[in-house]
Amino acid sequence: MSFSSDCKEELCRVPCDKACCRLSELSALYMTLGTLSLLGQGRLSVQFAVESPAIARRIFVLMQKQAQIVAQLHYVTYARFGGRRKCVLTVGPKQAPAFLLLLGMMEVGEDGTPTLHSTVPRVKLNRDCDRRAFLRGALLGCGTLNDPNHGYHLELTVREDSLRLYIAKCLQSLNIPVKYTQRRGVTSLYCKQSDQIADILTAAGAFTAVTRLESLRVKRQVLGTVNRAMNCDNANLRKQMDASQRQFALISRLAASDHFSAMPPALQQIAQARLQSPDMTLEELGQTFTPPIGKSGVNHRMRRLMRFASEELEGETTHPGTDAAPPAGL
Ligand SMILES: [Zn+2]
């Protein structure tokens, strides 16, 4: 299963015990997934067509608990979409008016004439719990979430301007910044920051998804640190090898000249050691001596040797080669 469907399944299991929260979530589900049908002679029906059986079950249970409305469930297979099957929940003419009245999407005037509202949710989201429940319903109804292994992206695709504004307000009141994008004429709310996506999922109650998101973020952070450390090591190694090569080249020229034998024995020793082991670090070079010489001792001798070589090989301009990071003060 995808991260998005895992996350939705989890949202479907979030306890929703308070009537105010059930109403808010149902309202968002109706606004994003519901269809109102006029059957003639004033009769109405409401349908929810969803691919996920978990979401169908969620809507069924919320309606039953909130208003003892029992929706009829059946399955429809769409031949056009490769035989994709959808669960269809229908609230028939007997109970549809009660359902719409409950959500405030229908009002009955003093003379008994019903008025239907279709675009703006009528539930009041004054409490934090209700804003969270509304957000949960909106995520279930029109949310998509990328697999975080392939980049962070949460999107709520909302065709209705007024509904989009309502969801945006809901997010803003939970201190979650809102961004908009437009694709094929449809505007969506989206979020690409992992911490903000985690905030949205936390608000809606998908804590397992947040944990998965968080552990992946930590893993990426650790990998980034390791890579940086490795790059740094590689850079040091390169500097060290360049220095060794410069030393080797200069000492080879010195060895071919008369100056070599004029050098103090300590410098001759280090020069010979470098000629024998062009790839060793100064520290390793120091270990080939009897008795061994420490890194700073070798470094000091190599600097003296390089200075001597530069001065003696007249007309040569060269940089005294040392280890990548010589000890301070040498
Ligand atoms: Zn509530």
The string of pLDDT tens digits covering residues 117-164 is 876 777 888 889 999 999 999 999 999 999 888 888 999 998 888 889
Cα-to-centroid distance, 141 and ligand 1 (Å): 19
Q: Which residues pair with 45 in a beta bridge?
A: 37
Cα-to-centroid distance, 329 and ligand 1 (Å): 69
Cα-to-centroid distance, 59 and ligand 1 (Å): 17
Cα-to-centroid distance, 119 and ligand 1 (Å): 22
Q: At what angle do helices 295-312 and 207-255 cross, to 10 degrees?
A: 50
Cα-to-centroid distance, 219 and ligand 1 (Å): 36
Residue range 91-100: average pLDDT? 92
> What's phi and psi for 277, nearest 5 deg?
-130, 80
Helices (H), 68-193: 96-103, 128-142, 161-173
Sequence ranges of the domains in the chain: 3-205, 237-312
- pLDDT score, position 161: 87
Q: Measured at the alpha carbon of residue 32, what is the angle toward residues 197 and 86, in degrees to the nearest 5?
A: 100
Domain range 3-205, CATH architecture: Roll (3.10)
d(CA 148, CA 153): 8
Cα-to-centroid distance, 25 and ligand 1 (Å): 9
Cα-to-centroid distance, 69 and ligand 1 (Å): 20
How many C-beta neighbours within 10 Å does residue 221 have?
Answer: 10
Cα-to-centroid distance, 240 and ligand 1 (Å): 65
The CB-side HSE value for 24 (13 A sphere, CA atoms) comes to 24
d(CA 50, CA 200): 22
Taking only the tens place, the pLDDT of each residue in 203-262 is 999 999 999 988 888 888 888 788 888 888 888 888 888 888 888 888 888 888 878 888
Cα-to-centroid distance, 23 and ligand 1 (Å): 8
With 50 as the cut, is the pLDDT of residue 330 above it? no
- pLDDT score, position 55: 95
Report residue 79 as tokens. Answer: 């031949």
Cα-to-centroid distance, 204 and ligand 1 (Å): 12
Phi-psi region of 184 (alpha: psi -120 to 50; beta: other; left: phi over 0): left
With 80 as the cut, is the pLDDT of residue 270 above it? yes
pTM of this prediction exceeds 0.75:
no
d(CA 139, CA 11): 9
SS3 call for 289: coil
With 70 as the cut, is the pLDDT of residue 316 above it? no
